[in-house]
Structure 1
Amino acid sequence: MKYLEGRKYVIQAIFIAIGAVYLIKLFYIQVLDDSYKTAAESNAMRRVVQYPFRGLVYDRNGVLLVENTPVYDLMVVPKEARAIDTLEFCRLVGLTLLEYREKITAAKKYSYVKPSPFLQRLSNTEFAAIQDNLVDFPGFYINARTVRSYPHSSLAHALGYIGEISPRQLEDSTYHGYRQGDYLGISGIEREYEKYLMGKRGVKYTMVNVRGIEKGSFKNGAYDTLSEAGQNLVTTIDLKLQEYGEKLMSGGKVGSMVAIEPSTGEILALVSAPYFDPSLLTGKELGNNYMKLLRDPAKPLFNRPLMATYPPGSIFKLAQALIAMQEGVLTPETGYPCNWSLVKCSHRHPYPANLNIAIENSCNPYFYQVFRSVVNRGKYRNVYEDVRQGLDNWNKHIKTFGFASSLDIDLPGEKKGLMPSAKFYDRIYKRDGWKYPTIYSVSIGQGETGVTPLQMANFAATIANRGYYYKPHIVRSVGEKGKPLPEYLVKNYTSVDPMYFPPVIDGMQMVVEKGTGRNASLKHIGVVLCGKTGTVQNPHGKDHSVFIAFAPKDDPKIAIAVYVENAGSGANAGAPMASLMIEKYLTGTIKTKYRQRWEADMINGGFYKWGD
C-alpha cells in the first residue's frame, strides 16, 4: 500500500511539472515574446470581390453603343477602422466630419465586420490622390470595378442605365446573390438583359498587415476564383438611322418614331422626344442628373414609344376596313356617301365609290358607315344587345393586330393601350344605355381608343406582311454569334385573311401618290411607298400629326410610325418625316435639293407653317 501511495505522489508531481511548463510557455508567448502578435497582425486575410466586366452593347452593324470605364470604390470594414485621425481622413477624401459620420454609421448598419462601399465611383485622378495615404487609415481599401460609358449620345431610352442596388431590392429574394454596393440594370436593355450582361463575380484572398498593406495572395491563390465577363449584346438598332431620327425630332418637339424591319420584327430606330444623352446617367453625378431630368416639365425620362398612349386617328381606318372585309360586310368595290350629317369630313373630295378612294381621301363618313356595318349586324332584336355583341366581336379582331395588349418587346415599361368592349361601355352608360351613335368616334380612331407608337409601327409592319407580324424586339443576339430569344422568331397572325390586305395596301399607295400623304412620296428614288396619314384631335391645343408607312410596296424593308404632338395635320409633319427616314435607311442619304429643304424644315420646325 505504501508503494502505491508513493506512485500517486510521483504522478501528481509529473502533472504539476507539465502544467508549470505550459504556464511558463504561455507567459513567455503572451507577455515576453511579441513575435506571434506581430505575425498575426502581419497576416490578416482580406476577401476582395472581383467585379466582372459587364457585357458590351453593339448596333446591328457592329458599332459599339455601350462600353465599360474603370472606376474605384473606397471600401471600409468598420471593425478595422478604429483609432484613425478622422479629420485628416476627411481632408484627404474631401468630406466634412458630419458626412464621414453618416457614411461610417451606414456601413456599420450594414455590417460591422464585412466590407461595404464608403465612397463610390472615384475617378483615376481621385484614386491617385488618396492611394498612397490609405496606409495610415486601417480598415479602408480600394476596390476596382467598371461603370458604363457611351461613345455616342443617342438611344438613351432603349439602352437604359445601371445603378446601385437598393435596400428594398436586397431584401427581395428575386435579387438573391446581390450585395450592398452592387450595380444592376435599372431601365432599358440594361434591366431587361441583366442576367446576360452582369457576368459572374470572382473573389481574391490577400494577406494584409495591420496598416492595410497587401503582403501577397493567400496560399498562392488556391482559393481565388476568377470573375467571368458578361455576354455582349448585338442590338437591332441602326445607329445612323437612330441619330437621324433624333435629329429630325430635335428642337423641342414632343413625340415618337419607331421603325421596324417587317420580315423580322427587328426595331431599326426607337426615338422618344425629348431625349437626353445617356452619359448623364453614369458616374458620380448620376443622382443629381437624374433628379434634373425627373423635374424637367418636358419629361425626357418618359419613354413615349412604349409608354405614351394616344388615339390613333385616321390610320385606324385601315384596321376597320380589314375587319369589315373579314366579316363580309365590305368589299373593295363598296361605296358610301360622304355624308357630313353623320360626321364631319376633313376636306371636300370626290365621291368615295370604292375602298381605294375612301382610303386615299381619308373619308370620315365612309368609315363611320363601315364600322356601323360591323357593329350593327341585326342579329338580335334588342338593338342594345346587337351592338354589344357586334362590338365584342370587333374587339376580338382588333386585338389580333397587337392593339390593347402587350407586344412583349424586350424592354420594360410597355403599356397595353385601350380598345373598348361592351363591358367597358356598360360601366360608363349601364348595360342598355348606349348604342352605335354613342361610340361612332371609334370608327375614325378617336374616342375611347389608345395605342402606343410601338403598336402603330407594328400595325404598319403587319400590313406590309399581309397579315402577320413578328414581335418587335431590340436585341438581335445574345453573344456575337447568338440568336434572339425564341419568342421573337414566331409569326403572329391576325384574324383577317391575307386575301383582304392587297386592297388596303393599294389604297395606302394612292394616299401617297394622289391623296393626303403626297408629302411622303419617294418617286424620285423609284420606291413605291405605302402610307396613311392621321390627324388626331387634341382638346388641349393643336392637333397631333400621325403617319404610318412601309416601303418598298412589294418587298418591304422598313415599316415606320411617326407621331408628333401638336404638329397639326399628318401630311405636314408625320408624312415628310417618315419618308425622310425611309429614304435615309434605303439609300443612306437625302439626295435632291427640295428634299434637303424639307429636311431642314423638319429639323428647325419650319413645317409648322406649312398648314398656315
Structure 2
Amino acid sequence: MQYLEGRKYVVQAIFLTVALVFAARLFYIQVLDGSYKLAADRNTLQRLVQVPYRGLIYDRKGQLLVQNTPVYDLMVVPREVKQLDSARFCQLLQLPLEELRASMKAAKAFSRVKASPLVQNLSTPELAAIQDNLIDFPGFSIKARMARSYQTQNLAHALGYVGSIPPTFLEKPKYAKYSPGDFLGISGLESFYEPILMGRRGVQYRMVNVRGIEKGAFRGGEFDTLSVAGQDLHTSIDIDLQKYGEELMAGKRGSIVALDPKTGEILAFVSSPTFEPAMLSGKGMGNRYMDLLNNPERPLIDRPLTASYSPGSVFKLVNELVALQMGVVTPQTGFDCNWKLVRCTHRHEPPRNLSVAIKNSCNPYFYQVMRTALLRGRSRNAREDVRLGLSEWRRQVMSFGLGDKLGVDLLNERKGLIPSSDFYDKRYGLHRWNFRTIYSLSIGQGEMQVTGLQMANILATIANRGYYYTPHFVRGIGNGGPLPEYRERHYTSVDQRHFEDIIPGMQEVVDGRNGTGNLASLAQFGISVAGKTGTVQNPHGYDHATFAAFAPVEDPKIAIAVFIENAGFGGTSAAPMAALMMEKYLRGNVAPYRKRWEEWVMRPAESFIRTH
C-alpha cells in the first residue's frame, strides 16, 4: 500500500509539471509574444506598398526631359469577385469579353487572394465610368500610380522606356522586390539606372473590417516603413543639339555621336530612323511597340551603340598612329600612290609626307604604312612574320577602345571587331594567309567593325592627344557627380607627340585647298576643325558615308562622328552635316545664310550618290 501511495504522488507531480509548462507557454504566447497576435490580425490587415516617386531626367542645361504623371490601374482580387456581370463590365470599359477572360485567368494564376492589375493605364473616361459603378463589382479596386511622361520628342533610344515587369523577371532574385504589375526601366537610361531612379518602396498596414472598409493604421503605424524617392539624373545631352541632329538625319539611316573630349560626356546621340519616346508609354503601348518592331526601317535599332560597320578611311588615322609608335615610319615618310597595290579614290599630288597622305586620303600610302608595320621590312610572303606583326598591331589598335565595349552607361553595347591572327587562322587555316589577304584593314575595310560611338571616341582620343574618358550620358546623380568609372582617363599605347604629327594633315582635310572634307570648314567663324572623311564599301548597295572631326583644334570642345548609310562620299554628305552640328554647339546657333547647307544635307541619302 505504501508503494502504491508513492506512485500516486509521482503521477500527480508529473501531471502538475506538465500543466505548469503548458500554462507558462500559454502565458508567453498570449501576453509576452505578440507574433501570434500579429498573425491573427493579418486576417484583418491590408498591406499597402507605397511606390516611391521615380527620379526625373534633365539635360545638361537643366531642361526637364522625363517626369512623372499620375495614372490609374484597375486591380482585381479573384476570390472576392462575386457574380460578375461580364457584359456590363465590358461595356463600361469598352473591353472585349475575350480580353476580360484572359486577364481574369492570368490574375487567378498569379493569386486568388492577392490583388493584380486587370486593366492598366485607364483613360479618364474609363476611370469615370468604372469608378461610379465600382460598388456593383466586388473584388475590383482602383490603384493610382505614377507613369513616365516626356517633355521632349527626341532622344528615344538613349532615354529608353518604362514598362510592366515581364513574368520571367519575377523568377530572378534580382527582382525579388517587384510584384506583378510593377513598372521598371526596360531599356536605355531607365534600365541602366533603374536602382537609382526607382528609389525604395515603403509599406503601410491598415486595419479593415469584413467589408474591406479601412478602420485606421495598425498599431499606430508601428510596422510602417516610408518610401524613399528615386534620385534625379542630370545628363550631358544638349537637347537642342540632339533635336537639330535628328532633324538633319530625318529620312536617312545612320547615326551622329558628339562628345566633349575633356570629360567623355555625350552631347548628342542620334539614331536614325527614330521615334518619339511617348510612343512607348501609356495605353496601347504594346501595339505601338509591335508596329515599331515590324517597321521595315527598323527604328528600334540603337544604331550608334549596336550597329557596327567598317570605319573606312577614318581608321587610317589610327593605323598611322600605331605605325608611328612602332617606329617604322615618320611624319616625313613618303610612299608612291601606287594603284597596282590598291586603288585610290581619286587622282592627287604625290603623298610625299604624312600630312599630304591624310589630306588626300591616299589608299596606297596607308596600305604601305601597315605593310611596313606588320613586316618590318621583311618579305610580304613571310606568313609567320605577318601573323606576329598583326598581333602587335592589333594590341595597340585596341588601346583606342576598339574591338571591345567602351563601357557607356547603356546596356547592349556592341564590341565591334578588330580581327586577330587566330581569327584568320580559323577562317583560312594556319599559315594559309598573308598580308595581301588582310590589306583592306589598312584603309578601314574588310572584317573590321566599329560602332558610331567608338568612331566618335577615336576623335576624342586624338583631340586629347592620347587618352579618353569612357563616354557617358549622366554627369550628375542627385546632388553628386557621375559614377567613378567615368572620371578615369584611359591612355592609348601611342605617345602624345605622335598625335601632334597627324593633326596638321587633319586640318588640311578641312581647310586645305582641295581637302576631301572642305565642306566641313568653319573658318568663316574663326573655328579651326581637324577631321577625316570616309567612304565605306558596301556589298549590298551604295557605299556608306562617314566623317569624323573635333574642334576647335587648339582647345577641343566637341568631337563628332557622322555615319550615313548609302550616301557615298563622306566629304559630300557627312562632312557638311558634322559642320552644322559643330557650329550649332560652339556658337549656339546656325547662321541664317547657312540655310542652304541645311537643305543640302536634309536631302535623301541616295541623292548624294548622284551629286558625287
Normalising by the residue count of structure 2, what TM-score does the alignment of the two structures yield?
Answer: 0.90
Q: Distance between the aligned counterparts of 2:598 and 2:381, measured in 1? A: 55
The answer on whether the counterparts of 1:135 and 1:212 sit within 8 Å (CA) in structure 2 is: no
Q: Deviations over 1:551-608 (max 9, x none)?
A: 0001000000000000110111110000110000001111151x22011211244962
Cα distance in 1 between the residues matched to 2:97 and 2:252: 47
* C-alpha distance in structure 1 between counterparts of 2:380 and 2:415, whole Å: 34
Instruction: Specify the alignment match of 1:53 in structure 2.
Output: 53
Identity %: 58
Q: Structure 1's 73 and 550: CA in aligned 2 closer, same or farther, altered over 3 A?
A: same
- Counterpart in the other structure of 1:590: 590
> Structure 2 CA distance, aligned partners of 1:119 and 1:50?
20
Tell me if structure 1 keeps the 8 A contact 2:380–2:386: no
Q: Does 1:350 align with 2:371?
A: no
Hey, what's the Cα distance between the residues in 1 that align with 2:309 and 2:229?
42
What secondary structure sits across from 1:512 in the alignment?
A: helix
Structure 1: any 5+ residue segments left out of the alignment? 1-39
Please state how far the C-alpha of 1:311 moved relative to its aligned partner: 0.5
Letter in 2 for 1:261: D
Within 2, Cα distance between the matches of 1:51 and 1:123? 21
- The aligned amino acid for 2:417 is L
Aligned partner of 1:452 in structure 2 is 451
**Is 1:185 the counterpart of 2:185 in the alignment?**
yes
Aligned to 1:434: 433
| AA partner of residue 330 (structure 1) | V
C-alpha contact 2:380 2:434 (8 A) present in aligned 1: no
Counterpart Cα distance in 2 of 1:580 and 1:96: 51
Give yes or no for contact 1:79–1:113 (8 Å, CA) kept in 2: yes
Corresponding letter in the other structure for 2:145: R
Structure 2 residues without counterparts, runs of 5 or longer: 1-39
Q: Tell me the residue number matched to 2:538.
A: 538
Per the alignment, residue 146 of structure 2 pairs with 146
Match of 1:508 among 481, 506, 509: 506
- SS of 2:538's partner is coil
- Tell me whether 513-522 or 223-232 shows the greater mean CA deviation: 223-232
Letter matched to residue 94 of structure 2: G
Equivalents in 2 of 1:509, 1:96: separation in Å?
65
Q: Equivalent residues in 2 for 1:205-354 (5 A)?
A: 205-208=205-208, 212-250=212-250, 252-354=251-353
- SS of corresponding position for 1:122: coil
Deviation track 1:476-511 (CA, whole Å, cap 9, x = no partner) reads: 1111x2111111000000000001011111110011
Q: Distance in 1 between matches of 2:399 and 2:571?
A: 28
The whole-number CA distance in structure 2 between the counterparts of 1:393 and 1:97 is 67
1:72-151 maps to which residues of 2 (within 5 A)? 72-151=72-151
CA distance in 2, matches of 1:499, 1:168: 53
Q: Is the 8 A contact 1:508 1:532 kept in 2?
A: yes
Moved more, 222-231 or 439-448: 222-231
Does the Cα contact within 8 Å between 1:511 and 1:531 map onto a contact in 2? yes
Secondary structure, aligned partner of 2:427: helix
* Cα deviations by residue, 1:107-143 (Å, 9 ceiling, x for unpaired): 1111111111111111333222221321222211111
CA distance in 2 between counterparts of 1:527 and 1:321 reads 26
Residue 70 of structure 1 contacts residue 144 of structure 1 at CA under 8 Å; is this kept in 2? yes
> CA deviation digits over 1:399-445, x for unaligned, max 9?
00011011000001100001111111111111111111111111100
CA distance in 2, matches of 1:592, 1:352: 38
Q: Is the 8 A contact 1:137 1:211 kept in 2?
A: no
Q: 1:92 and 1:215 mapped to 2: Cα distance?
A: 30
Q: CA RMSD in A?
A: 1.9
Deviation string 1:24-57 (CA, Å, 9 cap, x unpaired) is xxxxxxxxxxxxxxxx9xx943222222111100
Alignment of 1:357-368 (within 5 A): 357-368=356-367
Structure 2 counterpart of 1:192, which letter?
Answer: F
Give 3-state SS (helix, strand or coil) of 1:323's partner. helix
Aligned equivalents of 1:303, 1:377: Cα separation in 2: 41
Inter-partner Cα distance in structure 2 for 1:117 and 1:166:
13
Change (3 A) 1:381 1:255: closer
Q: Which moved more, 1:449-458 or 1:212-221?
A: 212-221
Q: Distance in 2 between matches of 1:92 and 1:210?
A: 27
Partner of 2:11: none
Whether the 8 Å CA contact 2:567–2:609 is kept in 1: the answer is: no
**Counterpart Cα distance in 2 of 1:94 and 1:446:** 57
- Alpha-carbon deviations, 1:518-537, whole Å to 9, x = none? 00000110000000000111
**1:532 corresponds to which letter in structure 2?**
K
Letter in 2 for 1:537: Q
Distance 2:459 2:247 in 1: 23
CA distance in 1, matches of 2:379, 2:602: 54
Most deviating of 396-405 and 71-80:
71-80
Change (3 A) 1:521 1:276: same
Deviates more, 1:419-428 or 1:200-209: 200-209
How far the C-alpha of 1:70 sits from its partner, in A, is: 0.6
SS across alignment from 1:101? helix
Q: TM-score, normalised by structure 1?
A: 0.90
Partners of 1:138 and 1:210 within 8 A in 2: no
Q: Give the whole-Å Cα distance in 2 for the aligned partners of 1:228 and 1:126.
A: 31
Q: Which amino acid in structure 2 is aligned with residue 483 of structure 1?
A: G
Pairs aligned (count): 569
Structure 1 residues 78-118: Cα deviation after superposition (integer angstroms, max 9, x where no partner)? 12122343433333333344333222221111111111111
